[in-house]
A and B are shown apart, each in its own frame.
Chain A
C-alpha cells in the first residue's frame, strides 16, 4: 500500500473507531455483535484490507493489519477481534484458495459483502487446530459438510465460513481439510448461547452447519490444512490477536492517563507519589514489550513471506507462539494493574468513567483463546530442537 492509501486506511479505521466507541458498552451488555460497527466496517473498505488491489481490495500487508487492529480495539475489543479474525480467514483464501474460488470471493470480501467466520473448534477436539472429528463425505451433490461448531466468532452475522473437516470418513483425525462454505450453501442452526465473562460483543455462538459444497471449495488441497495453518492461519491469527489485545490495553492506559491528568482525578490517587509512578511504569513497560515484540515478529513473518520462505521453521514457530503468549499475559497483567491503581470505584465498577472492568474481562480471555497452555507445550518442545537459541 502506498503512503497515501495507508493514511486513508488509518483515517477509515479512526472513523470506525468513533462508531465502535459509541456502541462498545451496549455490545458488551447485550452480548451481541455491534451492528452499527460492523456496518461501518463493511462500508469502510477495511474488510478487504489484505485483498490485493487488482481484486478491489486495499492491498494492505501484515504491518497494516496489526496497526489497524490496534486502532479498532481502541474502540471495541470484540469488534476488532471479529475484524481481525475475518482478515485471518481472508489471508488464507488469498494464499491458498484455487484461482476460480479466489476470483469469486475476493471481490466480494473487498466490497464488504462477505464477512468470513472461522470454524476450527470442534466438540471433541476443542481448540486443537490440527485435528477434526467430523469427516467430509463425497455425495452426488458434492462434499457433504455436517459439523458441530461450539464457538464461532460472529457466527450469526457471517456470510461465509472456513471450516476444518476430517478429509474423509476413513482418514485419521489429524488429516484435516479446510473447506469454504457460503452461508446459503449451509443449513445453519444456532446451538447454545454466548453469555461469557468478557469478549461478549463477539457473540461467539455455537452453530450446527450442514450442507454440500463443490470440491472446488476445498482450500489448499485435500488434507492440506496443516500447511494452511502453519503458513497463514496460525501466524496471521497470532499477529492479529496480539494486536487487538495490545490495542485494548493501550486504550485502557490512554484513558487512565487522561483521567489522571484531569481535574476528575480521584483525590485518593496522588500522581506525585513514587508508588503511583512505579505502578504506571510497570504498566507502560508491559505494553512497550508487547509492542516491540509484535513489531519484530510482524517484520520476521513479512520478510519470510516476501522471500517465498516457509514460516514453519523452529525458531519462527517459537517466536509466533511466544508473541501470542506474552501478548495475552502482559496485556492482561497491565489491565489488572490499572484496576489496582484506579481502585474500586474507578477501576472495578461497571458504569465507571473508565471501562477498565470491561477491558479486564475482555483480556482475561486472551490466555484461553487458543490456549496458552498448548502453545507453551509446543514452545518447550521446540526449544529443545534449537540449541543455537535463535531469538527473534
Chain B
C-alpha cells in the first residue's frame, strides 16, 4: 500500500500526532507509529480525530495496540468501519 491509498485528511490527522516524523518526510504505510512518537495521549487524540473526520466509532475490540501499529493497520480499520456503517 502507498500513501496514495488514503485521503489527505487521514494523512494530515496521523502526521499531526507523530512528533518524531520530520516535515517533508514521507509517511510510509508500514512505518511504526510508536517509533514516530505516538504515545498513549497522542493515540487518544488520533483516535478522536479519525473518528470525527470519517464519522466512525471504533468498537472496544479495535482499541488495541495492533490497530495503531502502522498507518496501514489504522487505515484498514477505518475503511472496515466506514464501509460497515455505509451498508
A contact residues vs B (CB 8 Å cutoff): 172-175, 226, 312, 314, 377-378, 381-382, 384-388
Contact = CB atoms under 8 A, between A and B. Distances in A.
Interface in B35-86: 35, 37, 40-41, 43-44, 47, 60, 63-65
A162 B60 CA distance: 37
Nearest to A387: B60
Given A172-B20, A314-B63, A385 B44 contact: yes
Contacts of B41: 377-378, 381
B40 A174 contact: no
A308 B30 CA distance: 28
Interface of B: 20, 34-35, 37, 40-41, 43-44, 47, 60, 63-65
Contact of A175 (B35, B43, B65): B35
A130 B41 CA distance: 15
A385 B62 CA distance: 9
A304 B34 CA distance: 24
B35 A312 contact: no
What 5 pairs between A and B have smallest CB-CB spacing?
A: A381-B40, A385-B63, A381-B41, A381-B44, A378-B40
Contacts of A172: 20, 35, 37
A381 B60 contact: no
Nearest to B43: A381
A234 to B, nearest CB: 13
A174 B37 contact: yes
A173 B47 CA distance: 24
Contacts of B65: 312
Contact of B35 (A174, A378, A381): A174
A382 B64 CA distance: 10
Given A378-B41, A381-B43, A387-B60, 12 more contacts: A172-B37, A174-B20, A174-B34, A226-B34, A314-B63, A314-B64, A378-B40, A381-B40, A381-B44, A385-B44, A385-B63, A387-B63
A387 B60 CA distance: 6
Nearest to B63: A385
